[in-house]
Amino acid sequence: RAVTLLFQFHEDGFLVLEHFFTAEECDSMRNQIQGIVAEMEVPPHCRTEFSTKEQEQLQAQGSSDYFLTSGDKIRFFFEKGVLDERGNFLIPKEKSISKIGHALHAHDPVFKQITHSSKVQELGRKLGLERPVVVQSMYIFKQPGIGGEVTPHQDATFLHTEPLGRILGFWIALEDATLENGCLWFIPGSHTNGITRRMVRAPPGTSTCVEFVGSEPAYKDSQFIPLPISKGGLILIHGEVVHKSELNSSESSRHVFTFHVMEAKDTSWSKENWLQPTPELPFPSLYT
């Protein structure tokens, strides 16, 4: 069975593993994040709205060191339209948050335990990963009614390695992800053509901190297939597979914990990536 699953993953660029985590594990992550949000203090100048539309991405994240220096911290990013022009919340803060990143796996005991859980390590070994390191993690809320769409993209656009093919995403549904609340959509087999766009650190003195090189081709909606998955399910995401999610137009949220792993053996991490390991937080080994 493991062999067919591996074949499936290499064929499609993704793999769905239902019920990989228990309901208890999912609830422990949700409870933990609730505590983190309750204690969240957001300095007004840091109230960066998170967006996936390229121009807005550059404005919101690019002008902000808050995003660029979040690789080794726990930081907060908000949905569009939840703040007034003075940076005050128009809706309760716990309903306005888009995601928390990018080092939950390093700083929070619950998320650290999940990331390095024996079943994740075992899966890494089945996939043939020799020296996997964890590069980032995120908690994504996909809030009811306002959880924004995530336009078609490849994770390697943001997390570039030489050679390509060394990045792997682990995407864990902490609630059922459905067609209504914004499940992931993939183009099967789209991980074999390299990447067409990169987000890189802009040269010092530029008005934005990051810029895009290249462009995302126009994909047809008909190329995508939806992957609804129930609570506790895991989707493995190849770094170059094209995927997206729609706006959450439902009345239920779609909480997810996701982290990215790099095979560090014979791989170099691009110095131009927005995310860089720091002396305080070198990328930790997945295997403990």
* Confidence at residue 286, expressed as pLDDT on a 0 to 100 scale: 98
79 contacts 98 by C-beta, under 8 angstroms: yes
pLDDT over threshold 90, residue 228: yes
Q: Which of 49-63, 69-83, 159-173 is the least confident region?
A: 49-63
Q: Which amino acid is at 47?
A: R
DSSP 91: S
* Higher per-residue pLDDT: 78 or 182: 182
pLDDT in tens, 252-285: 999 999 999 999 999 999 999 999 999 999 999 9
User: What structural domains and CATH numbers belong to the chain?
Assistant: 1-269 (2.60.120.620)
Residue 126 has pLDDT above 70, yes or no: yes
Region 202-229: what's the mean pLDDT?
A: 91
pLDDT of residue 205: 77
* Joined tokens for residue 149: 């769409």
For residue 34, give both structure tokens. Answer: 């609730």
**Cα 174 to Cα 231: distance, rounded to the nearest angstrom:** 5
Return the ∠ at Cα 104 (arms to 115 and 50), rounded to 5°. Answer: 120
For residues 169 and 237, the answer to whether their CB atoms sit within 8 Å is: yes
3-state helix vs strand vs coil in the chain, percent to 5: 25, 25, 45
| pLDDT classification of 50: cutoffs 50, 70, 90 | low
Q: What percent of the chain has pLDDT over 70?
A: 92
For residues 1-13, one letter each, b for 16 or more C-beta atoms within 10 angstroms of the residue's C-beta and e for the rest, the string is eeeebeeebeebb
Give residues with Cβ within 8 angstroms of 240, minimum separation 6: 13, 154, 155, 156, 164, 165, 167, 190, 191, 192, 193, 194, 195
What is the band of 79 on the pLDDT scale with cuts at 50, 70, 90?
Answer: confident
Two structure tokens written together for 67: 């995003």
Q: For residue 150, give Cα distances in angstroms to 120, 132, 172, 199.
A: 26, 27, 17, 16
Q: What is the mean pLDDT of residues 235-241?
A: 98
CA distance 144 to 249: 6
Confidence band for 89, pLDDT divided at 50, 70 and 90? confident
Q: Please say whether the beta carbons of 211 and 114 come within 8 A.
A: no
Examine the pLDDT at 62 and tell me if it is beyond 50. Answer: no
Intra-chain end-to-end CA distance of the chain, in Å = 26
**DSSP state at residue 41:** -
Type and span of the H or E element at 200: strand 197-201
As a whole number of angstroms, the distance between CA 98 and CA 48 comes to 10
Q: What are phi and psi of 175, to 5 degrees?
A: -145, 165
**Encoded amino acid at 92, one letter:** P
Give pLDDT, residue 176.
98
Q: What is the mean pLDDT of residues 216-226?
A: 96
Q: Is the pLDDT of residue 101 over 50?
A: yes
Query: How far apart are alpha carbons 12 and 77 in whole angstroms?
Result: 31
Q: CA 49 to CA 59: how far, in whole Å?
A: 10
Q: What pLDDT score does 41 carry?
A: 79
pLDDT of the residue at 90: 87
pLDDT given at position 43: 58
| Confidence at residue 44, expressed as pLDDT on a 0 to 100 scale | 58
Q: What is the 3-state secondary structure (H, E, C) of 163-179?
A: CCCCEEEEEEECCCECC
Sign of CA dihedral 19, 20, 23, 27: negative
